[in-house]
Amino acid sequence: WGELSGSPFFVINSIMKTLNLETTAPFQGLAELVAYEEGLFELEGLDINWVDRDPTENNVEIIKPIAINITDPSEVDPHSSHGKLFEQGKADMYNACEWGNYCRVQDSEVESGRQIGRRSIVSFAGLVVRPESKVYTPQQLAGKLVGVPFYFGTHYLALHMLEGFLKRDQINVCSAPNGSRHRYDAMMSGTVEATTLTEPYLTLAEKNGCRVVASAFYHGTEVASDKVDTETYAKFNRAVCEAVQRINTDKKKYLQYFIDYHKEKDPEIGTLSVSDLKESRIVVVEPAPIPEDELERTANWIQSWGMLSSTENHNDLVNRII
């Protein structure tokens, strides 16, 4: 036994098990990053190997163009980023938004790939317009072009938020890249009227005079192959739970992750300080299974938008190994 921040830890096996994870940004994987940086996975006997799903050139992200002519998710590969390396057998597990992961699992070539539980962070995002936009409320986005990353959390979040104010045939979305930087630039240039942003780009947008016309939190899940057994996932979650406790004890300390993760590739993020970020937007909880009633409602809602058409039973998309 050992002591870390008052919490007992026991390394079950002296032999480390390697777990290959797709890279994750703080807005969707803060607790996992903290657990890695502070040695919590190692204490559980896990050797985490991060595999990068987003290549760069000279440490600069490759520019991803917006596609205003693509308005149907069926024209886009759900594994274009999240799950890409998992499909290639280079990753054992990845996390992404819960909505998108239903679709990824449905279309997966990995026979054992299933959602195994919700991740710890409850992500926050906003629907944003540039300073000179004439849009001040979600209702005013009727028929106006909104850039969203199809199959990513803020795609589905935008639909949820907008359909609270508009009829579905008034919602006009197009395919925008994953990675808030690319969508932010498209919105600021006027290519789209509005877009969805996560932290720290939501804070950057506000600092530069943009308006958030709607915002909300959303869940994500872990997708794993059969290489992640019950014992391995339990170890993973114990480390994450300790990280959750540390973050909730001192959120301000961990806000720096949101700046440090991006600033090398995006110097403008380096102009932000921790005081610019809002602690209330960072919510982490202990990982848990997807509640059955929420699973059913979520799957039915996704199907109502014309997705998950190949799934007869939504329970086939999950594996309750905990």
**pLDDT digits 0-9 by tens, 15-50:** 899 999 999 999 999 999 999 999 999 999 999 999
Q: Would you tell me the crossing angle of helices 26-37 and 230-249 to the nearest 10 degrees?
A: 100
Q: Among residues 150, 37, 173, which one has the least CA distance to residue 97?
A: 150
Nearest residue to 119 (alpha-carbon basis) of 243, 202, 280: 243
Supply the pLDDT for residue 56: 57
255/260 Cα distance (integer angstroms): 9
Q: pLDDT for 226-281, tens place per residue?
A: 999 999 999 999 999 999 999 999 999 999 999 999 999 999 999 999 999 999 99
The confidence score (pLDDT) of residue 61 equals 59
Dist. CA 53–CA 85, nearest whole Å: 6
Reported as a pLDDT band with limits 50, 70 and 90, residue 2 is very low
pLDDT tens, residue by residue, 96-126: 999 999 999 999 999 999 999 999 999 999 9
- The pair of three-digit structure tokens given for residue 99, joined into one six-digit string: 């909505």
Please give the helix or strand (H or E) that residue 249 lies within, else none. Answer: helix 230-249
Which tens digits make up the pLDDT trace of 174-225? 999 999 999 999 999 999 999 999 999 999 999 999 999 999 999 999 999 9
Distances (CA, A) of 29 to 118, 128, 138, 277, 287: 11, 23, 29, 17, 12
Tens-digit pLDDT profile for residues 157-185? 999 999 999 999 999 999 999 999 999 99
Is residue 102 within 8 A of residue 302, CB to CB? The reply is yes
The answer to whether residue 5 scores a pLDDT higher than 90 is no
Could you tell me the two tokens for 124?
Answer: 């926050």
For residue 37, give the amino acid letter.
Answer: E
Cβ-in-10-Å burial (0-12, 13-18, 19+) of 10 comes to exposed
